[in-house]
Amino acid sequence: MIVWVNGAFGSGKSTLVDELRPRWPEALVFDPEMIGFVLREIVESPTGDFQDLRLWRRQVASLAVGLVEEHHRPVLVPMTLVNAAYVDEIFGALRDADVSVHHFFLKAPREVLEKRIDGRSFTPDDPEQDEQVRRWCKGKIESCLAAADTLPSDTVFLDGELTPEELADQVLARARPEGTSST
């Protein structure tokens, strides 16, 4: 099973997964951004966004399937994925491999997202790069907010202004199989 935690930059995806991890110790964490970082070292995306590389999408789906099939454990995936065609492509590959997907989308107002992005440091040793990343993240907010209307019908929308603990309770109640521990 895949638990995909989606939402705009600053919505709390990684924070939620960090909260879930100790409460669901058998779950693995897979951050598709790492594949993007590797690919960025090898090839350039014409758009500057590694999600636009078909290879990234194929590798994300393949690795997610492999983790589920080979380790027989749930996989937590914190990743913004809002291009409807890319969602269909990746989730379709997961469905084709008979991997169930619980898709959660954290919704938060623009002001909250901007404040959270401004409060983060992406590259602490390079303030200029740090600001460039912040601008890029903020530039994606509109498309992320608009994407909520295009996501699969079984997407569970969560209030991104809730505490990580409250959000984790909601995810665990919907995604974790009965009888598994909650340490």
In CATH, 2-169 is 3.40.50.300? yes
Instruction: Decide if 117 contacts 138 (C-beta within 8 A).
Output: yes
CA distance 99 to 65: 7
Domain ranges of the chain: 2-169
Token digits of residue 10: 């600053």
* pLDDT at residue 57 in the model: 98
Mean pLDDT for back-to-back runs of 10 residues, the chain (183 residues): 96 97 97 96 92 97 98 97 97 98 97 94 86 91 92 96 97 80 49
pTM: 0.92
| Distance, first Cα to last Cα, the chain | 19
* pLDDT at residue 180 in the model: 54
Three-class secondary structure of residue 21 per DSSP:
helix
CA proximity to 110, closest of 150, 156, 146: 146
